[in-house]
Amino acid sequence: MSDTVQLFLSGQVLPGFAPGEVAIALARLLKISETQAQAMLAGQETLIKRSLPLAQLAQYQQTLARLGAGTRVQGPDAPTQPAIEPAPAELKPASMLDSADAAQFSVPTEARMVAESATPAKVPQPEQRHWYTDSEPAHNPAPFGWDYTGRLNRLRYMAYGLLAMLPIFALVLLVSLSVSLGAVAAAWVIGLVGGAASVWLLLRVLVLRLHDLGLSGHWLWLLVLLGLLMAVPLPGMKMAVNILISLLSLLLCLWPGQARENEHGAPNGPNHGWIIAGAVLYALLSLATLLAEQPEEAEASSVKAPGRLQAPLQIETSPDPVKQEALVRAAIDKAAKEQGVELDEVAREAAVQAYLRELQP
């Protein structure tokens, strides 16, 4: 008794599924054109697996049922009825096999298709491998692109973000070279066009990461709000906004995405070596940048106290010279009181001028 069967597409779309969406999902699964997939759903049976082991039959039927495609099995002791229909509310047509399972499907040339525009489906050939794809499944977005569809998991977000920064470095070099050669107009054009493209790529990475969390890309408008808050002339506002941005960036790197398919697509495939290496490098560069940051305007600045004041003074900075002098005087008086140091008017004035010189940009 044979332990293999033949698996056919029945040519029918299961109830509750849209034929167009089923055709798109089937084309992705079998790596054929949408025209061929539509012909396979035109009512005629199509042989898609000639010798399918019985142990794998249930997996194939469930996968095709999730797509919305009906099946029929032919062979000894094999059920001949179509696959059990899943509940459409719980399963979406965009579900698909991973690359290992999809590779097991083959569509023989003798497949019976009746659509005039269709051509016999061919056995899918292995896709050309690129350094950035490594034969990944179709639901892994390319590192560089202009569309905002798809999802990025945590490691891919960091690796793709690092790659998206590379054009910025190239742009800086080109602009600097153009200016040094006297081509100022060319530098402006390169800067504007290249800058817009770089911003688009960086925003794309952020949007795809939000998609993985089940969020809309419209949440990026929060960046505009944070930028406006940084312009508010309140003490500590800039520091608070910077801390909030750092926390949000950390969440994007650490918060796991949705494990199941959502409205933005299926989860990413396995993370390959270059993805992991890029994510580690991104994390190291981010840590180095954080450690190298210096306090800026409206942040507490540590100034070493000369004279009899031993402890360093914490002095806030201000773009207003009059306000800055008042802040320095208040910090000196506070430190002198805490340390029990009495400063005469001459020493106090000398200390004020010394601190003002230290704080000058």
Task: List, as one string, the DSSP characters of 219-242.
Answer: GGHHHHHHHHHHTS--TTHHHHHH
Tell me the per-residue pLDDT of 249-280, one tens digit each, with 9 for 90 and over: 899 999 999 888 888 888 888 888 899 999 99
pLDDT at 101: 44
CA distance 85 to 58: 13
In this prediction, residue 126 carries a pLDDT of: 42
pLDDT of 91 over the 60 cut: no
Predicted local confidence at residue 329, as pLDDT: 85
**pLDDT of the residue at 119:** 39
For CA atoms 129, 132, 135, 140, give the dihedral sign. Answer: negative
Q: How confident is the model at residue 1 (pLDDT cuts 50, 70, 90)?
A: low
Question: Which residues, listed in sequence order, are joined to residue 303 by a DSSP beta bridge?
Answer: 313
Mean residue pLDDT across the chain: 77
Write the CB contacts of 58 (distance below 8 Å, at least 6 apart in sequence).
Answer: none
List, in order, residues 6 or more apart from 46 with CB less than 8 Å away.
8, 9, 11, 40, 107, 111, 112, 113, 121
Lowest mean pLDDT among 35-39, 232-236, 293-297: 293-297
The alpha-carbon radius of gyration of the chain (Å, integer) is 31
The whole-number average pLDDT for the span 72-89 is: 54
